[in-house]
Amino acid sequence: MLKSIAAPALVAAGLLTISLTSTLASDATGDWVRPNGASKIRISSCGAALCGKLIWLKSPRNDTQNPDASKRSRPLVGVQIVQSMKPTGKTGQWKGRVYNAEDGKTYTGYIELTSANKLKLEGCVMGGLICKGETWSRVK
């Protein structure tokens, strides 16, 4: 009788472990650094989506390339660059918009958690036909 009780308990514990592991593996919230080390981005929940804002720049500057002239004198630190990212249905992947302060344009964007400490970001044009991106590292 002990075996018949222990087996379901072990299976339930295993399923709980798998469920917790996949939940943790798909958690993109936290602080991330770009490969060149020039900036850090904080990804956090914004309603049912994920958003990310610049929290640090190695060389602070203003949002000079913004198409809205009234925003060109604002500091880039604090600007939301990852916007309204919603799950795509693929585990650990979200789709929304990405603001590129280098050219002042907003692109269709994807973020994908490729491991617990790596987040791939892509900005796309032409309906996703052409994408460019980089992989960020989680700040410890």
CATH classification of the domain holding 105: 2.40.128.520
Q: pLDDT tens-digit profile of 4-53?
A: 444 443 333 343 333 333 344 469 999 999 999 999 999 999 999 999 99
Residue 32 · residue 10 · CB < 8 Å: no
Residue 13 belongs to some domain of the structure: no
Whole-angstrom Cα distance, residue 9 to residue 14? 9
Q: How many domains is the chain partitioned into structurally?
A: 1
116, part of any domain:
yes
Contact 32, 41 (CB under 8 A): yes
Q: Is residue 57 part of a domain?
A: yes
Structural domain including 33 reads 26-138
Tokens coding 20: 């917790």
Given the structure tokens 């987040």, which residue do they identify?
A: 119
CA–CA separation, 117 and 28 (whole Å): 9
Task: Check if the beta carbon of residue 49 is closer than 8 Å to that of residue 69.
Answer: no
Q: What is the pTM of this model?
A: 0.80
Residue 2 in any domain: the answer is no
Task: Specify which residues 44 forms β-bridges with.
Answer: 51
Query: How far does Cα 14 stand from its chain's mean position?
Result: 29
Q: Residue 75 to residues 3, 19, 53, 60, 115: CA-CA distances in angstroms? A: 64, 41, 12, 7, 31
> Each residue of 53-92: pLDDT tens digit?
999 999 999 999 999 999 999 999 999 999 999 999 999 9
Spatial distance between the Cα atoms of 44 and 57, rounded to a whole number of angstroms = 18
Using CA atoms, how far apart are residues 70 and 78, in angstroms rounded to an integer?
16
